Amino acid sequence: MRRVLILGGTAEARALAAELADVPSMHVVSSLAGRVTNPRLPVGEVRAGGFGGPDGLATWLAAERIDAVVDATHPFAARMTASAAEASARTGVPLLVLRRPGWPQGPDDTWQRVDSLEAAATRLAVAMPTEPTEPVRVFLTTGRRSLPVFTGLAGVWLLARSVDPPEPPLPPNVRVLLDRGPYTVEGERALIREHRLEVLVTKDSGGQLTAAKLVAARQLGLPVIMVDRPPLPTGVRLVESVNDAALWAQG
């Protein structure tokens, strides 16, 4: 039996688990961080919760006699990816990173690229009129844990969309919208209009499930502040398609 660990929490990880499920002589374990209530589950065996850093993961890989690891976590799950790279280097268990491509910027998009959430907040502050009569209305889709980076900004009103609720208490300039993709362009356009949103702040997650907001922003002429992905650890092997990852996982 070839034993493969998939570090998951993404649509690609679920697709990979599904693709490998019927391969004879393979045993696949998918791992989730265990932080989302009611997560979408992959087929096959699933474990949940952190490993305890690179040390914990290295120990787990040895104990479970894992032959290969596919890190199919979200492009912004940088700690998990760093931990996987370190555990792989230490144990010799081969690692492949599966990352969907980032979103391409089109000629009609008004994007400003920044390299961190903090830089996005600074960019928002700089872009604001010095004495706004009305708060600038921001559509924030960077995740519930990023909210504190933006809530302290003066002169902004935030529509923060997330899968699970952010930690209370929330300041009065924040309205939370609990939702999980996939989203449609019509739906996103309606949301932008309903809340009179003026700027979108998002992360370059890539993929189809949440891309509709970018199309809606383009159509409605909304500027976008796009947070770039954190860099991958040096030397890791990278593929962008589930198919390539499935071939690699089979050895």
Rule CB under 6 A: is residue 8 a binding residue for ligand NAP? yes
Q: What share of the chain is helix, strand, coil (3-state, %, to 5)?
A: 35, 25, 45
Residue with smaller CB distance to ligand NAP, 7 or 191 = 7
Rule CB under 6 A: is residue 50 a binding residue for ligand NAP? yes
Rule CB under 6 A: is residue 77 a binding residue for ligand NAP? yes
| Spatial contact of 139 and 250, defined as CB atoms under 8 Å apart | no
Rule CB under 6 A: is residue 79 a binding residue for ligand NAP? yes
- Footprint of ligand NAP on residues 192-231 (CB under 6 A)? none
Shortest Cβ contact with ligand NAP: which residue? 50
| Spatial contact of 232 and 210, defined as CB atoms under 8 Å apart | no
- Footprint of ligand NAP on residues 122-161 (CB under 6 A)? 143
| Spatial contact of 73 and 9, defined as CB atoms under 8 Å apart | yes
Rule CB under 6 A: is residue 80 a binding residue for ligand NAP? yes
Q: Which residue has the tokens 């996939």?
A: 182
- Reduced to 3 states (helix: H, G, I; strand: E, B; else coil), residue 144 is helix
Give the separation between CA 206 and CA 229, rounded to whole angstroms.
10
Rule CB under 6 A: is residue 106 a binding residue for ligand NAP? no
Binding site for ligand NAP (CB under 6 A): 7-10, 31-33, 50-53, 56-57, 73-74, 76-80, 83, 143
